[in-house]
Amino acid sequence: MLEIDILAVIPGLLDSPFSHSMLKRAADQGLLTVRVIDLREYGAGKYKQIDDYAFGGGAGMVLMPQPLADAIRELSRERSYDEIIYLTPDGETLNQSIANQLSLKSRLLLICGHYKGIDERIRTKFVTREISIGDYVLSGGELAAAVLVDAIGRLIPGVLNDETSALTDSFQDQLLAPPVYTRPAEWEGEKVPDILLSGHQAKIDDWRHEQAIARTRARRPDLMNDEGL
Ligand code: ADE
């Protein structure tokens, strides 16, 4: 059972990603709950202000420390988090190993930044882990949080069945996945490799492994170890 809270500036961006397919199944089975909390509820004054100009000048606003601290403290009183994760382009780059680790946790708080980011003092005081979903800049952390929840949610024990097992995913063994085919066996003049129709499971497994290695060597040699395997 994994409980994920997401502190968002634009909660509407997270309206639907968790209500379909695997994540919905995970929620229906009681294996995953996702709550989205609007940071503005903790904003200051009549206008519920949550951002302000950056000290030292420059374009772009910064999320103020007080609303974030109030939200984090209130939520932490209700749930004690295993990790408080800030989604940010300068965090460690998300990969399958991080997703695996996080899927074994019980309670996560994800903080979505916006504009120029959040006041540095929140990062040092509360945040336990900082994650980027890639070397590009999004307009806010919400879509990054959705990506992270998807990558984690599908790994929660019990969410996938045998057919969708995560064990055969790309990256799970440092290899990209091999090519896959479905019916018809011949389509627009192109045939499925004979081996896949042979019924020899051990040979099929060997073929898939060879294909995975060839594909990884061609496309992502950086994933291969020194022996080229
Ligand atoms: N917020 C803005 N860009 C981001 C990124 N690449 N990863 C995570 N959070 C972000």
Minimum-distance ligand 1 atom for the alpha carbon of 139: 2
132 lines ligand 1 (CB under 6 A): yes
CB 132, CB 94: distance < 8 Å: yes
**What is the predicted pLDDT for the residue at 125?**
98
CB 142, CB 14: distance < 8 Å: yes
Question: What contacts 24+ positions apart, CB below 8 Å, involve 135-141?
Answer: 135/89, 135/93, 136/89, 137/89, 138/89, 139/114, 140/9, 140/10, 140/13, 140/112, 140/113, 140/114, 141/8, 141/86, 141/87, 141/88, 141/110, 141/111, 141/112, 141/113, 141/114
Q: 226 alpha carbon to ligand 1 midpoint, in Å?
A: 32
**What is the predicted pLDDT for the residue at 168?**
72
pLDDT tens digits, one per residue of 118-153: 999 999 999 999 999 999 999 999 999 999 999 999
CB 110, CB 82: distance < 8 Å: no
Pocket test for ligand 1, best of 132, 139, 148, 150 (most atoms within 8 A of CB): 132
- State the residue for tokens 């091999």: 178
Average pLDDT, the chain: 94
**What is the predicted pLDDT for the residue at 114?**
87
89 lines ligand 1 (CB under 6 A): yes
**What is the predicted pLDDT for the residue at 157?**
81
pTM for the complete prediction?
0.93
Question: What contacts 24+ positions apart, CB below 8 Å, involve 48-56?
Answer: 50/9, 51/114, 51/115, 54/116
127 lines ligand 1 (CB under 6 A): no
In the chain, which stretches have pLDDT less than 70? 161-165, 167, 172, 226-229
**What is the predicted pLDDT for the residue at 68?**
98
Output DSSP code: residue 87.
E
65 lines ligand 1 (CB under 6 A): no
Pocket test for ligand 1, best of 63, 85, 133, 139 (most atoms within 8 A of CB): 133
How far apart are alpha carbons 103 and 2 in whole angstroms? Answer: 8
Q: 152 alpha carbon to ligand 1 midpoint, in Å?
A: 17
